[in-house]
Structure 1
Amino acid sequence: MGTVFSFDVRGGEPGAVRTALEEAVTRLHRVDEVFSTYREDSQISRLVRGEITVEECDPEVAEVLELGAEAERVSDGWFSTRYEGRLDPTGIVKGWAAEHAAQRLAAAGASGVSVNGGGDVQLLGVPGPHRPWRVGVSDPLRPGTLAAVISAAGADELAVATSGTAERGAHIVDPRTGRSAVTDLVAVTVVGPRLTWVDAWATAAFAMGSRAGLDWLESLPDVEALLITAGDEVRCTGGLARRLG
């Protein structure tokens, strides 16, 4: 998946949680083996070359492709699992994998779980009594400072994902042209229950641009967002204020 994962796990029986953590890490490595577009022997690479079918892949491949198709439908094509005409589901795999890792740890008895995959975070439970998880959102125009702090207060699960150009440059593609998205945005942060979706929605909204992206995000249930333009204008969905901590 080409990124670093980190875990913050609270509570639970230590042995059970440690085993679940080891299983989660092993599973992330397996996901990379299956879905990497940089590995010639990955199932996705072999699928693209026509050497195997979806039915011959691990069941998770069909699951991820279905999720990608749903994201493409909901975003009216602004999210895509294709790059330069080839199948490339990496835009949805990272969020999906981090979400599943967090769920595995919570199922093992952890009372609070934070899984961070390259800056996108899935939160479950709480880090301590009367203490919600909080996630800082970097200001892309002022390195080393925060544009906002998102609080998970009152939510059993919350995810935060950001798409933009600050860390990786112009890497987001406009599915209509196949070239880098031309947009007035420098960052889009989306907040919602599941990282699988908020990660995909952040990518799609960035490609849309600030006006269309904000209107579309406002239409999605259980989703809030913060958009920052190259002109240093901050735009937010109507309900974001209740998530600022």
Structure 2
Amino acid sequence: MRRVEHVMGFPVSLRVDDEDFPAAAADGLFAWLREVDARFSPFREDSEVCRLDRGELDPDRLSPHLTEVLGLGERYRTATGGAFDVRLPGRRLDPCAVVKGWSVQKGAELLRAAGARRFCLNAGGDVVAAGGPWRVGVRHPEHAGRLCAVVPLTDGAVATSARYARGDHILDGRTGRPSTGLLSLTVTAPTLTEADAVATAAFALGADGVPWAAALPGCELFAVTADRRVLRTPGFPADGSGQVAA
């Protein structure tokens, strides 16, 4: 089965190699992602996130999913000393940096519960996969048609935070200014919840985010600094030289 839909502002592609996988399970996956978009989008005035931000909801009586997401945001805010924050000063509540990986990981769990054994779920370039080997390309931060490395992925996830697609959109919550110490940072982890949040949080920390992320259990990383140096942990499972030329 192969299927692509545009959800949460980016393409989500699903490939399942199990011949007996039910099509209804894929319907359930995309229905879940649409539900997430409706509930957590900071751009939909009727979403639970926007209603909370406007003070229309009791913070002690939120849905279990929003409570979980805000808990993840607080976890990474504390771990980064405020560099990563879903509540940046002067801005609306925006948990998107947590929601994407969290929701897609839960989608992968829905696939497994439906019997999928070999699948690849790609959400805007962040990937969770099972039953590999799969090969995930890491895009060159300055040349769209080139790769820095290729990650062999069996069961796990890989996520990248970078400046090449959306410019300086990741802010350092301590200063409110764009974080510009890195061009891109890719993280592998057991789940996309971890990989996506750690990649964004580390990017917000700038150059300090590389040793911070490298010290986290289960995380390996590949980073390109603003001065085009390549930094990688010894366990980063990449094929290729990892060289980045100016």
- Tell me the TM-score normalized by structure 2: 0.88
Identity %: 43
Q: Which runs of 5+ in 1 are unaligned?
A: 127-131
Residue in 2 that maps onto 1:24: 29
Residue equivalent to 2:116: 110
Change in 2 beyond 3 A, CA 1:77/1:83: closer
Q: Residue 170 of structure 2 corresponds to which residue in structure 1?
A: 172
Distance, in Å, in 2 between the alignment partners of 1:57 and 1:12 is 40
Alignment of 1:1-20 (within 5 A): 1-11=8-18, 13-15=20-22, 18-20=23-25
Q: How does 1:174-193 map onto structure 2 within 5 Å?
A: 174-181=172-179, 183-193=180-190
Say whether residues 1:90 and 2:82 are aligned partners: no
Q: Which residue of 2 aligns with 1:145?
A: 146
Task: Note the C-alpha offset of 1:25.
Answer: 0.4
Counterpart Cα distance in 2 of 1:10 and 1:83: 42
Matched-pair contact (CA < 8 Å) for 1:71–1:197: no
- Aligned equivalents of 1:56, 1:173: Cα separation in 2: 29
Match of 2:10, SS state, is: coil
1:47-99 alpha-carbon deviations (Å, 9 max, x no partner): 11111124544321111111111222233322211134442211100001111
SS in 1 for 2:101: helix
Q: 1:244 aligns with which of 238, 242, 246?
A: 238
Q: CA–CA distance in 1 between the matches of 2:117 and 2:151?
A: 20
Cα distance, 1:103 vs structure 2 = 1.1
Q: CA deviation at 1:2?
A: 2.2
Partner SS state of residue 65, structure 1: helix
Q: CA RMSD in A?
A: 1.6
Change (3 A) 1:41 1:190: same
Q: Is the 8 A contact 1:12 1:111 kept in 2?
A: no
Deviations 1:185-240 (A, max 9, x none): 11001111111111111112112222x22211221111110111232211111221
User: In 2, distance between residues paired with 1:51 and 1:36?
Assistant: 16
Give the unaligned 5+ runs of structure 2: 1-7, 240-246
SS at match of 1:209: helix
Q: Does structure 1 retain, via aligned residues, the 8 Å contact 2:77–2:83?
A: yes
Conserved 8 A contact 2:73-2:86: yes
Q: Which residue does the alignment assign to 2:129?
A: 123
* Count of equivalent residues: 231
- Shift in Å at residue 109 of structure 1? 0.8
Cα distance in 2 between the residues matched to 1:37 and 1:106: 29
The TM-score with structure 1 as length reference comes to 0.89
